A and B are shown apart, each in its own frame.
Chain A
Amino acid sequence: MEHFLVNPNTAVSCKRNLICKEAATPIAIGCYLDNDEKGVKVDQTRYKELIGSLLYLTASRLDIMFNVCLCARYQASARESHYMATKRVLKYLKGTTDVGLWYPSEVSLNLIGYSDSDFAGCKTDRKSTSGTCHLLGSSLISWHSKKQACVALPTVEVESIQLEVVVHRVYGSNNS
């Protein structure tokens, strides 16, 4: 999958971080990012460069999408803790360069949609993150991970908003 590293920024980032351990997952369990206003500031340009190249990579490596989107929220005022979380994604990528989307030839054409959300995943503004994916047979054809735009308190509301996103993606908004 080396051709995914064609983006010069990614290549530079990976080179600088080559000497590191490999991580099994892109984010540690219980890792929680907030604004971290007391943290040490890091170079904005460098952080944005890193996020930019990782976002480019999410087109084919959706396993890091949630983590990259999480880190991307703190670009305006990046701190050491955010930078460390971003580096963890690179560590994970280092160990999984051969991983990619696989589309087998013999598949049924059953379209199934999945929808899920974490409940108030962002502790700062109590907003939830929603995720959807669509599988055609066993192949992944569409996916989505986004922090919801409004604050919803009961889990029912969160999941309902979530379901709406899935239905939107299947039928489009003008079809109602």
Chain B
Amino acid sequence: MSQIPLLCDNTSAINLTKNPIQHSQTKHIEIHHHFIRNHVSNGDCVIQFVNSKNQLTDLFTKPFNKERFNFLRNELGIIDLKNIK
């Protein structure tokens, strides 16, 4: 399995993983930063942008209204067994 796509909704964070320039604002996250950069430059994974609307992990970080919550839940494959049959 080559180049696993990792989806992130923050363009700045994505650019950081690609750009070799040392960013002065990010000096405190060097270890994290280099760890990701290392994997990206090795070609292990590709960090891609995903629109916040399709960001499925939102379910694990924030509270949502009924519609959004049900949408995310269905997309993640957690579904009502009554709807399957």
Question: Which residues of A are in contact with B by a Cβ distance under 8 Å?
Answer: 1, 24-25, 27-31, 61-63, 65-67, 96, 98-103, 109, 111-118, 121, 129-133, 135, 138-140, 143-145, 152, 154-157, 159-164, 166-168, 170-171, 175-176
B27-53 contacts to A, CB under 8 A, are 28-29, 32-33, 35-36, 38-39, 44-45, 47, 50
A113 touches B65 (CB 8 A): no
5 tightest A-B CB contacts, nearest first: A131-B60, A159-B13, A145-B60, A159-B10, A116-B57
Residue in contact with A102 in the complex, picked from B13, B60, B78, CB distance below 8 Å = B78
Neighbouring B residues of A168 by C-beta, 8 Å: 35
User: Are A157 and B63 also in contact (CB < 8 A) when A115-B57, A116-B9 are?
Assistant: no
Closest chain-A Cβ to B60's Cβ sits at a distance in Å of 3
* Pairwise interchain contact A121-B60, C-beta atoms closer than 8 A: no
Which residues 70-84 of B have a CB within 8 angstroms of A? 70, 73, 76-82, 84
Residues of A within 8 A of B55 (CB): 114, 116
Collect the chain A residues with CB atoms within 8 Å of residue B17's CB: 160, 163
- Complex interface: chain A residues within 8 A of B33 (CB): 160
Choose from B39, B57, B82 the contact partner of A133 (Cβ within 8 Å). B57
Known contacts A164-B36, A167-B35; decide if A99 and B78 are in contact (CB<8 Å): yes
